[in-house]
């Protein structure tokens, strides 16, 4: 994919590869009774317990994949936009139980993969905008 982009997309084009969005399930995956009933951000010391591949964290694959992608992008003109690490903190930023109705989780289940607005996705847009502006200044 990277070599194709480098060969086929014009050099003048701003090329950005965004890292994966983390999930915050515990007790199983989304289809195996996993939940994300968290109402505050994770603390720094909690991140590796959740996400470090050595600890078998719920989102270990994303860190491994992102590291390999970042290495593969090295030496190309594709910018790596790492939104994963800052997003790992925000276990509270998923819709999960915040569906606005009593017994919503029992009726519809939890949503630990999407993100609420305003908040974290707005920060992603701010970072993307700064990266694009920086590209024009170079």
Per residue in 30-76, pLDDT (tens digit) is 666 667 777 788 899 888 887 776 766 666 777 888 899 999 999 99
**Helices first, then strands: H and E counts in the chain:** 6, 2
| Confidence (pLDDT) at 82 | 92
3-class secondary-structure state, position 104: helix
Q: What is the pTM of this model?
A: 0.75
> For residue range 66-121, what is the model confidence (pLDDT) as tens digits?
899 999 999 999 999 999 888 889 888 876 655 566 666 666 666 666 777 678 88
Nearest residue to 24 via CA among 100, 108, 89: 89
């Amino acid at each position: 994919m990277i070599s194709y982009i480098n060969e086929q997309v014009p050099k003048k084009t701003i090329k950005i590869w965004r890292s994966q969005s983390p999930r915050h399930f515990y007790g199983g995956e989304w289809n195996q009774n996993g939940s994300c009933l968290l109402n505050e951000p994770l603390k720094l010391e909690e991140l590796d317990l959740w996400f470090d591949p050595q600890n078998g964290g719920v989102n270990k694959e994303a860190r491994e994949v992102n590291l390999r992608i970042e290495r593969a992008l090295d030496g190309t003109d594709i910018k790596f936009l790492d939104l994963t690490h800052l997003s790992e903190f925000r276990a509270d930023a998923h819709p999960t139980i915040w569906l606005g109705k009593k017994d919503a989780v029992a009726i519809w289940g939890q949503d630990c993969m999407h993100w609420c607005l305003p908040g974290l996705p707005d920060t992603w847009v701010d970072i993307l905008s700064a990266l694009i502006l920086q590209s024009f200044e170079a």
